[in-house]
Each structure stands twice: as structure tokens, then as C-alpha cells.
Structure 1
Amino acid sequence: MTWQTNIVPPKGLPVFEPGWVWLVGAGPGDPGLITLHGVNALAQADVIVYDALVDTRILDMAKPHAERIFAGKRGGKPSPTQTSISERLVELAKAGHRVLRLKGGDPFVFGRGGEEALALVGAGVPFRVVPGVTAAIAGTAYAGMPATHRDANSAVTFITGHSMTGEVPDNLNWDAVTNGAPVLIFYMAIKHFGRIAEKLQECGRPADEPVAFVASATTADQKVHVCTLDTAAEVAKKVSPPAIVVVGPVVKLREQLDWLGKAAEWQAKAADPV
């Protein structure tokens, strides 16, 4: 489907002016999770610079003839540098284009959107930020695990699983991270989760604490692997990224709240209520 609209957006939504860059979060996968501001941006953009995890159905919402430029970065594969991406955004904007930088999830949650925004500021390019639904929120919800639940946790911590060097973050206070919230949600942590699990146990998390890996969250390929902290290293070897890792008591709620897994059963009952 191609999204058809005039260049004038619906009442109350902003006009995408030439020479601007909009940093837009596309959500974690399911195209229904992009915001109305994001759809409005797609309808007006002249150029879309998009990441590897952006669903093609979201790109199909763009106006006809909008230029699409792939800027995905995937581990272990040839990828554009962050500097080259930022320079391209500046170049396109200064050429008078409406430039949509479309990023998976939320651009300011482990998405390096802040770096791109600072590059735009340095170059004198006006920009707008459109937040997106981040994987730690949507992925847990689609896997039947609330990120917070009154009987389980009053705090949740989002953590990146690797540093700028690609290794386990060494600038974290792991004792504080481990004990600061009952629920921990890790991004980009599959490669190093064996070591991360060791650190968490060294700092006091119990070996039998529930863990869930949610791979390809909110997509048709979503897979959920549930285990415990002491077995997580072995389970991680079977998980294909992209994935988030959830540690804590909310994982147990999946047994009752796996609405996605129960959808077919519920639909069958609705079709044949007898």
C-alpha cells in the first residue's frame, strides 16, 4: 500500500518544511506502532534515510517518488559510519530537501539520534524529533510481559549490552545496575549475555531468576525464549538478533498474559462458540 496524501498535512499536524531534517522513530517492527507524526513525515518527505530494522511496509507509506537511502548498520557486516550518515543528512538538507531520518524504535533510546541531532545543530540545520515506541516497551508487551506491574516492580532499567568498543560496557556501576530495579531490560546484549549474566549473579541476582529473550519483537518472526539467569548463557547462543533480554519477576506473568500466543485460540473460540 502506498500512503496517498497532499503535501498539506491533516489539521493539527506539522508541515515538513524544505531544508529540515526530521528524526523519526519507526517503532520496533510492527508497522502499526509508528506514530501519526511518523506517518505524516513519510507523507511529506522528499528523501528517506532509513535503518536496517525499518519494516518495508512502513517505507510503503511514503509519498510516491520519495528517494530512499539505506543507512543500516548491522554487526559484522559492511556498514556506513555514523559520521558519514550525519554528513549525508546535512548535505541533503542544505540541498533543500525534506529529509526524513527513519530509525527503528525511538531515535533517542540507544538509537544514536542524539549524535545525529548534534551534527545537525553544528551544521545549522533545523530539525524535529518524533519519538517512537521503543523495543523495551513494545517487545515486552507483545511477549506478554508488562515492563512494570504493581505487584512485581516499581522501577525498570534499560541497559545497552555493549559499549562503543563492542564489548560489555565497562563504564557501568554493575552493582548499582543489578540492584537498582527489580526488572532489567537489555538492548543489543545477545553476544555478551553470558558475561552479563555472570556479572548480575556476582552482584546479587539469584541464579534462578527468570529471564526472557524476545527476538524480532512485534514482527511475524517474533520468538520468545524463557529460562533462568544460570542457564541464560546457553540459551543466548540459540537466539538470533535483534533481540531484547528481560530479567526479573515480570517474566513469570507471560504464562497468563501471552495474548499474542493465545490469539489464534481466542479467534477459534469466537468463530465456534459452542
Structure 2
Amino acid sequence: MSESIPGKVYLVGAGPGDPELLTLKAHRLLCACDALVYDSLVPQTLLELTPEHCERHFVGKRRGHHSVPQPSTNAVLVELAQRHRSVVRLKGGDPFLFGRGGEEAAHLVRHGVPVEVVPGVTAGIAAPAYVGIPITHRRAGSSVTFVTGHEEIDKGRPGVDWRGLARSSDGLVIYMGLHNLRRICEELMAGGLGAATPAAVVQQGTVLGQRQLVTVLGELADRVEAEDFGSPSVVVIGQVVEQRVPECAPPPADAEMPIPF
């Protein structure tokens, strides 16, 4: 393809892991793309949808291990768009929810590359649903906050005000929070959230290996450590956990999702 006429990059949400939660639009784009750029939390089943001629580029980030820096991923997307008509940037969940999709979209636009966002089902909604937890409920919570627990709480100026969240939201859905979970729980309780507040963790939500823990905030960190929960996991804190209806939960898909280190 001529360098003066770039192809189009699609920022596509892969969903939480169950291949059947992929949107029809995402499926169509994967089946026809010329190049694929994908993350760690993308099941092999979805990679196999791409055509034989498709170039595949892994740019996943894994805690404690060598990761592809974000500027390198941005550069790869621009370079591929100069050579291919259709480039799919496949991200676990939704590309604009803790997926750096906004950064990539802005970079592509600055370099004159057409870009389109294809939303996906986020794990923060799907994983609790797959164990029967509604993240909002008329009797238990009219507000919910999606928050990342990945950043270092001990840094000079934390970006997440956990004590403030304890007072301002009926429910919390925490992504990437296990590494800092004990400090998160301490901060939430210091902010006024009671130790008896219902809490849950869902690991490997929607796919093979799914497991869940239902407990209370004051015991959450100890239980997670004792029962050896790991990533990827979603944490839900709030009265909505008490509204869990396990009988309505769909069975996890018989599909494997790579587990980040």
C-alpha cells in the first residue's frame, strides 16, 4: 500500500474472554483483517479467526516481565497502516476502559491514520455477571465506579482517592487490583467503608478456570492470599454483592485465556 494512502486501524474490544461475547462487528473485522496487533488477555480462539495472510503482532504487557512500551505499540500501528488496508488492534474487554485505546487513537489521528473504535464487553460487567452478581441494583446501589488498582498507592500523589471513593460510590469494580489489594482495603475502611461490607473476587471470569470468592471487605485480602487468587481478576465491593443470584449465572466458556504473570 502506498505510504501516502494509509489503511484504517480498528481499535477492537475482544470482550472478557468468552468467544461468544465478541460483537458481530468485531468478528467481521477479525475475519477480514490484513494485520492484527493484540494484547495478553486475548484468547487463542479469537486469534484463529484471522485470515492466513494476516500479520500478527503481540504487544502484551505483563507485570514484572519485559513488556512492549506504549510508544513502540503506537509506532507499530502507524507502520502497519502504511502497508495494509485493514489493521485490527485487539484489546481485552473494551478498548477505551483501562485499555489505553484513547492514547492510541490520538496518536493515529496525529499521524493521519484513519481510526475507528469498536466497543467490547468489559470484564468489570461480564465477570460479576458470570457468577450472578449485578453491579447495580435498585435496592443495593444506584451508582458504581470502575477503578484501576494497578497504580502504586505509595507514590507521592496517588491518582485514586480510595478514601473518597469509600464515601462517594455505592459500589466499586476494581480492575488489576490484587497486587495492591491489602492497601486498597485499608484505605477504603479508613475512608469509612465498614469491614462488613460485602465483597467478591472473580478470577478468569467467563472462561475455563473461572473461580469466585464471596466475603466481606475486612477479610478480603486475607482470603485472597489464603486461597491463592491471581490475575486476571475483578474485585467487586458493595451491597450489590449480597444480591448475587448464582442460579442465573451462565456457565464459563470452554476456552482458555492467557494468564498474565
Question: Quick check: TM above 0.5?
Answer: yes
Match of 1:159 among 125, 129, 147: 147
* Distance in structure 2 (CA, Å) of the matches to 1:40 and 1:71: 22
CA separation of 1:19/1:61 partners in 2, compared to 1, >3 Å: closer, same or farther? same
The count of corresponding residues between Structure 1 and Structure 2 is 245
> Is it true that 1:50 corresponds to 2:38 in the alignment?
yes
Report the secondary structure of 2:201's partner residue. Answer: strand
Match of 1:37 among 14, 22, 25: 25
State the Cα distance separating 1:23 from its structure 2 match: 0.3
Normalised by the length of structure 2, the TM-score is 0.88
Equivalent residue runs for 1:1-274 within 5 Å: 19-163=7-151, 170-237=158-225, 238-254=228-244, 256-257=246-247, 259-260=249-250
State the Cα distance separating 1:258 from its structure 2 match: 5.4
Alignment check: 8 A CA contact 1:145 1:257 kept: no
* Distance in structure 2 (CA, Å) of the matches to 1:186 and 1:232: 13
Identify the range of structure 1 (89-98 vs 195-204) with the bigger mean alpha-carbon deviation: 89-98
Say which one has the larger Rg.
Answer: 1
Q: Deviations over 1:12-44 (max 9, x none)?
A: xxxxx9711000000010001110110111122
Report the secondary structure of 1:77's partner residue. Answer: coil
**Structure 1 runs, 4 residues or longer, greater than 2 Å off:** 165-169, 171-176, 253-262
State the Cα distance separating 1:101 from its structure 2 match: 0.2
Alignment check: 8 A CA contact 1:18 1:98 kept: no
Report the secondary structure of 2:132's partner residue. Answer: coil
Alignment check: 8 A CA contact 2:35 2:84 kept: no
Q: Which amino acid aligns with 2:113?
A: V
* Distance in structure 2 (CA, Å) of the matches to 1:30 and 1:46: 24
* Distance in structure 2 (CA, Å) of the matches to 1:244 and 1:167: 22
CA separation of 1:210/1:20 partners in 2, compared to 1, >3 Å: closer, same or farther? same
**RMSD of aligned residue pairs (Cα, Å):** 2.0
State the Cα distance separating 1:260 from its structure 2 match: 3.9
* Distance in structure 1 (CA, Å) of the matches to 2:146 and 2:48: 31
Identify the range of structure 1 (134-143 vs 65-74) with the bigger mean alpha-carbon deviation: 65-74
Alignment check: 8 A CA contact 2:36 2:90 kept: yes
Normalised by the length of structure 1, the TM-score is 0.84
Alignment check: 8 A CA contact 2:35 2:55 kept: yes
State the Cα distance separating 1:246 from its structure 2 match: 0.3
Q: Deviations over 1:180-201 (max 9, x none)?
A: 2211000000000100000000
State the Cα distance separating 1:235 from its structure 2 match: 2.2
Q: Identity of counterpart residues, as a percentage?
A: 45
Alignment check: 8 A CA contact 2:31 2:49 kept: yes
* Distance in structure 2 (CA, Å) of the matches to 1:223 and 1:82: 31
Report the secondary structure of 2:167's partner residue. Answer: helix
Any stretches of 5+ residues in structure 1 without a counterpart? 1-16, 263-274
Q: Which amino acid aligns with 1:47?
A: A
* Distance in structure 2 (CA, Å) of the matches to 1:93 and 1:227: 48
Report the secondary structure of 1:24's partner residue. Answer: strand
Identify the range of structure 1 (204-213 vs 101-110) with the bigger mean alpha-carbon deviation: 204-213
* Distance in structure 2 (CA, Å) of the matches to 1:194 and 1:110: 21
